[in-house]
Structure 1
Amino acid sequence: MTQTIPGVLSIRGTDIQTLPLVFDSPHSGTAYPEDFNHAADPLTLRHAEDTHVADLCEGATAAGAVLLEAHFPRSYVDANRAPDDMDPGQIDGIYPGALNPTVKSSLGIGLCWTRVPPAGGPMYTRRLNADEVAARVARYHHPYQSRLRTLLDESHARWGAVWHINFHSMQEFASAMSTQHKGTPRPDFVLGDRDGTACEPGLTDTVQAFLQARGYSVAVNDPYKGMELIRANGDPARGRHSMQIEVNRKLYMDEATREPNEGYQALKECFTALALHLSDHVTHQIERTAAQ
């Protein structure tokens, strides 16, 4: 069964969930709202998408997990940012609430993106209206973050713990909008656990070993440690384990056209196998806790 808020999000697997494992894909949305009113080339703008990531993860439900995906594009409003991560200099009018811009906002990729990847050209020929930003948060950003939190809370209440995998994709090489030097090559995968503060170490170790055994190069917390969704939801001392996974786009698609490449199906099968492997890890952790 799929639960849907049209244009906002979909949730799959709640009716067949068998363990406290939640996958989410906040950046794979391709439903561009009519009121976006950006000044970017549409195909170039799609470089911001984690295109196809939700589809790559659909096998998670067969492993007993739940899958949440965003339908809206991250460049419109980014579900993996705090609601105050916006440069006040980019807003026209009085925003309802304090703003606390991070380095992401300075790069043009905060709450509402102001620069277009990969070169970093301007997203708009205007400043965003304060009411416009607030409406994006209310209609898209808040429902996504709230629904993810509810899924995690429900699983935690049922099983006493929950494991959350936050999926993303990354460009093959660092762009001008990255914190890395432009052109820096990325590994196949980057796992982020915010330097061990967002999940139990066994989760990171399990995923890293699984991927390396299949011949993939894997980095941990470099250059991505994990952003708002695992920061807000990861609390291992309370049995809440959140980890971010970034997959290199070269493994599954043509970055210029956004079309799947010859590696797509193999990676999708790998993600399904990973979900099954994680289900074993989660089951073992629950059983071990119960035996204590």
Structure 2
Amino acid sequence: MTADLIRTLEGTSALVLDSPHSGTFYPDDFQYAVPLPLLRQAEDTHVEKLYDFAPALGVAWVEALFPRSYLDANRDTTEIDTTLFDTPWPGPVATDPKVLSKVRLGKGLIWRSTDGGLPIYQRRLSVGEVQDRIERCWVPYHAAVAQAIDAAHARHGYSVHINCHSMPAVASSHATEFPGEAHADFVVGNRDHSTSSPALAELICEHLRALGYSVALNHPYKGVELVRRYSHPASQRHSVQLEINRKLYMDETTLAPNEGFAPLREHLQGLVQRLLTVDPRAL
């Protein structure tokens, strides 16, 4: 079943893209208690389609097919909401206040609530079922991302990893620490320049601004676990999280693509082609 939950395509370039939140396959054991249309608002809808050109350019691609609300692959396994369980969680639990702020919002490894604050479950979860989700989803997804980055770095002596996301036009009440904030067209995140060189992040920002987009750097999204875990700029392993405002390409209520989808996809292809020409060692 694990093979059905993750999609990987090998590359030949130094560039790796991954989409941890665009999955639409809801496993049978996901016994949610909210209407599916509300739950689907958690998805980074259509992100995999926006980048579907990438493998043909030699770019490695990793995609989660399971939904973010089932297990968030962009969280560490210690980001556990212990109030979800019917027995004590036996593993380590994060204590970092910044991490705990997201857990309190219901957005840990296993989501407790929707972006609007509605409880996802009407029951307590068992430790065993969450451990099973970790083994079937988190472990192989992270292994696939790590393998793709290692292979790109081995081929070229450097790697550039773009962690692909989308975001609502306006932050919901339980989505971020800035509810109600209207988002820029793009948010580029490298955890305050700790997961990539500042020059690489600025290059991405400048490229997008030249196309007429509004771009924010490290606010309100700095990048989370996937860019943190697999980056090491000093070793020429660069990771950047890229958030796209959903209003650019879709109707956020119906989830249908709008007239902006095709031009946005074209612009993203131009960005990827630009990154394929960039050696971060020379920036």
Normalised-by-shorter TM-score class? over 0.9
Structure 2 equivalent of residue 85 of structure 1 = 79
Of residues 98, 104, 117, the one that matches 1:106 is 104
Tell me, yes or no, if structure 1 residue 266 matches structure 2 residue 263: yes
Which one is further off, 57-66 or 20-29? 57-66
Any idea what SS the aligned residue of 1:234 has? coil
- Alpha-carbon separation, structure 1, partners of 2:190 and 2:128: 34
User: What is the one-letter code of the residue matched to 1:51?
Assistant: T
* CA displacement at 1:158 relative to structure 2: 2.2
Aligned partner (choices 104, 112, 115) of residue 113 of structure 2: 115
Equivalent residues, number:
279
Q: Which of 147, 152, 155 does residue 152 from structure 2 map onto?
A: 155
Following the alignment from structure 2 to structure 1, what is the Cα–Cα distance between the partners of residues 240 and 112? 27
2:2–2:136: 8 Å Cα contact kept in structure 1? no
Counterpart of 2:199 in structure 1 is 202
Alpha-carbon offset, residue 62 of structure 1: 3.0
| Pairing 1:179–2:181 present | no
Task: Report the Cα offset of residue 211 of structure 1.
Answer: 0.4
Matched, 1:251 2:245: no
**Is 1:47 equivalent to 2:44 in the alignment?**
no
Counterpart residue number, 1:188: 185
The amino acid that maps onto 1:167 is C
Q: Which moved more, 1:153-162 or 1:20-29?
A: 153-162
Q: What is the rounded CA distance, in whole Å, between the counterparts of 1:161 and 1:92 in structure 2?
A: 46
Partner Cα distance (1:276, 1:74) in 2: 28
Aligned-partner residue type, residue 188 of structure 1: D
Q: Deviations over 1:61-115 (max 9, x none)?
A: 2332111111000000000000110121222224342121622211101101010
In 1, are the aligned partners of 2:17 and 2:62 still within 8 Å (CA)?
Answer: yes
Distance 1:275 1:205 in 2: 15
Residue 140, structure 1, aligned to residue 137, structure 2:
yes
Q: Percent identity?
A: 44
The corresponding residue for 1:66 is 60
Under a length normalisation based on structure 1, what TM-score does the superposition of the two structures give? 0.91
Unaligned runs of 5+ in 1: none
Aligned residue for 2:41, secondary structure, equals: helix
Q: CA RMSD in A?
A: 1.6
Displacement, 1:5?
5.2
Q: Distance in 2 between matches of 1:7 and 1:29?
A: 11
Deviation at 1:181?
A: 4.0
CA–CA distance in 1 between the matches of 2:2 and 2:176? 34
Question: TM-score, normalised on structure 2?
Answer: 0.94
User: Which stretch of structure 1 is more off in the superposition, 71-80 or 59-68?
Assistant: 59-68
Structure 2: gaps spanning 5 or more residues: none
Q: Counterparts of 1:22-41 in structure 2 under 5 Å?
A: 22-41=16-35
Distance 2:28 2:271 in 1: 37
User: Does 2:72 correspond to 1:75?
Assistant: no
- Alpha-carbon distance, 1:267 to partner: 0.8
